[in-house]
C-alpha cells in the first residue's frame, strides 16, 4: 500500500510487533505496518464508527490480515500490555494528552508510545514528562507543505526531566541531532516571526501591548534563527 511520507515516517519508528493505532481513521498506519514492517498484530481503534468501517474496508481491499477493529474512546479499547507500541497521530496535543491521562494505566503497560500531534507539540513534551515517561528520539517530516513531529516515547527507565524552556519548544533530541527537516522548519519559523515583527513595528502606534508582542516575536525569531544556523 502507498501511504503518505508522514505515515511512512511514523511507521519507521515502530519498535515492537504488537501495536495499537488510536484514532486510526482510514487505517493506513496499521495496514502499512502489517504489510511493510515487522508488525504481526494490530488494533485499529477509533471513537467514531464511520472511520472504523473505512479502515476495515481498506484493510480488506489491501489484503492485510491480523488487524482488530475496536470502537471507543482513546486507550479504553485496550487492556494493559496488549500492545507494546501505541501510536496516536493526527490530532491536537491537548486531545492526545487527555487520552494519555485518562488511559494512563494502559499507556504505562505499553513499552513505546509514538506520538505525532499536529498542534501544541511543546505541550505534549511537557505532558510526557508529567506522566513520568521519556522522549528517547524525535523526528520531523514535511508532508503536503506542513511540518509534523514524531515523538518516540518510552514508559520505563526514564532519565530525563531537566528540559529548558527552549528544549520544550524545539525538542531536545531535534536540537542535538538536527535532521534537515528540523533545520528547514527553524528557517521557516524564523522567517515567519521576522514578518510578524516587521508588521508590528510598521503599525502606526506601537503602545505597551504592541511592544510586548514585538519583543516576543523578536525573541522567537532569534531563537529559531540560532537553531537554524548552529544549534
CA distances from 77 to 46, 65, 179, 197, 218 (A): 9, 20, 35, 47, 45
Residue 203 has φ and ψ, to the nearest 5°, of -65, 145
Compare residues 21 and 167 and give the one whose CB is closer to ligand SAM: 21
Judged by the rule CB under 6 A, the positions of this chain that interact with ligand SAM are: 22-25, 45-48, 51, 73-74, 89-91, 95, 99
Give yes or no for a contact between 62 and 44, defined as CB atoms under 8 angstroms apart: no
CB of 58 to ligand SAM, least distance (A): 12
Q: Record the cell numbers describing residue 17, joined without a space.
A: 510487533
Radius of gyration of the chain (CA): 19
- Nearest approach, Cβ of 55 to ligand SAM (angstroms)? 9
Minimum CB distance to ligand SAM smaller for 45 or for 151: 45
**C-beta of 197: minimal distance to ligand SAM in Å?**
33
For the bound state, the minimum distance from the C-beta of residue 111 to ligand SAM, rounded and expressed in Å, comes to 20
Amino acid at each position: 500500500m502507498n501511504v503518505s511520507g508522514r505515515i511512512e515516517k511514523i511507521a519507521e519508528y515502530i519498535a515492537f510487533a504488537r501495536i495499537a493505532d488510536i484514532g486510526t481513521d482510514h487505517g493506513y498506519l496499521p495496514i502499512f505496518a502489517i504489510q511493510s514492517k515487522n508488525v504481526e498484530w494490530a488494533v485499529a481503534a477509533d471513537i467514531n464508527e464511520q472511520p472504523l468501517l473505512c479502515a476495515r474496508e481498506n484493510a480488506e481491499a489491501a489484503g492485510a490480515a491480523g488487524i482488530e477493529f475496536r470502537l471507543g474512546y482513546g486507550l479504553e479499547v485496550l487492556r494493559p500490555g496488549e500492545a507494546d507500541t501505541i501510536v496516536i497521530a493526527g490530532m491536537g496535543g491537548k486531545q492526545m494528552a487527555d487520552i494519555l491521562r485518562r488511559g494512563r494505566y494502559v499507556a504505562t503497560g505499553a513499552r513505546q508510545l509514538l506520538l505525532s500531534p499536529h498542534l501544541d507539540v511543546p505541550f505534549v513534551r511537557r505532558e510526557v514528562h508529567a506522566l513520568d515517561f521519556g522522549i528517547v528520539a524525535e523526528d520531523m517530516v514535511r508532508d503536503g507543505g506542513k511540518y509534523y513531529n514524531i515523538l518516540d516515547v518510552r514508559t520505563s527507565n526514564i532519565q530525563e526531566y531537566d528540559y529548558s524552556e527552549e528544549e520544550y519548544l524545539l525538542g531536545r533530541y531535534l536540537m542535538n541531532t538536527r535532521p534537515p527537516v528540523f533545520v528547514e522548519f527553524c528557517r521557516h519559523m524564523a522567517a515567519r516571526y521576522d514578518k510578524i515583527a516587521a508588521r508590528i513595528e510598521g503599525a502606526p502606534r506601537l503602545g505597551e501591548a504592541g511592544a510586548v508582542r514585538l519583543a516576543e516575536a523578536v525573541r522567537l525569531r532569534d531563537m529559531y534563527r540560532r537553531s537554524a544556523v548552529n544549534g
